[in-house]
Amino acid sequence: MTNEVYVTAKGLEDMKNELDYLINEKRPEVINALKEARALGDLSENAEYDAARNDQAITENRIKELEVLIEKAKIIDEVATDKVTIGNSVKLEYVEDGDVETYSIVGSTEADPFANKISNESPIAKAILGAKVNDVVAVESPNGTYNVKIVEIF
């Protein structure tokens, strides 16, 4: 993973908080659970031990992942509103049916489609990055091409 990871200042803070929690709270809990499970005896048929080992693997993998993401993080600074960039919110009109949606363009680690936060790597974000208000842009998606009009950038 050599590329920069685009995050907001809040997104970076959230990752650091999660890392701190995993290292200082979750990891000791998992180690304690492993000790307790070992004390139960035979490890070959010990479901508690297997569950604790699995939890340990998940926790350690997430710690490593967060460390890499934080190291590669590039904070999205103040963003201009004359063209679409990472960090903007954008109001789009789907040309074919007139629907209007608002999206925030964020880095892939902060993407949350249910909160209308779309990754800069998504088809729609790739298509509109660099576009200006009133531009009509063709979006290539797995379901075919469609057009969106940039209504507002903020």
91, 152 contact by CB (below 8 A)? yes
Under CATH, which number does the domain 5-75 receive?
Answer: 1.10.287.180
pLDDT at 80: 77
Average pLDDT over residues 70-89: 88
Mean predicted lDDT score pLDDT of the chain: 92
Task: Please name the residue that has the structure tokens 């650091």.
Answer: 16
Q: How many CB atoms lie within 10 A of CB 92?
A: 21
pLDDT band at 94, cuts 50/70/90?
A: very high
Q: What confidence tens digit (pLDDT) does each residue in 143-152 have? A: 899 999 999 9
Q: What confidence tens digit (pLDDT) does each residue in 14-66 have? A: 999 999 999 999 999 999 999 998 888 777 778 888 899 999 999 999 999 99
Domain boundaries of the chain, sorted by first residue: 5-75, 89-153
Q: Which fold has domain 89-153?
A: Chitinase A; domain 3 (3.10.50)
Tokens of 150: 């940039």
127, 139 contact by CB (below 8 A)? yes
150, 131 contact by CB (below 8 A)? yes
Residue 20 Cα distances to 67, 97, 114, angstroms: 10, 46, 26
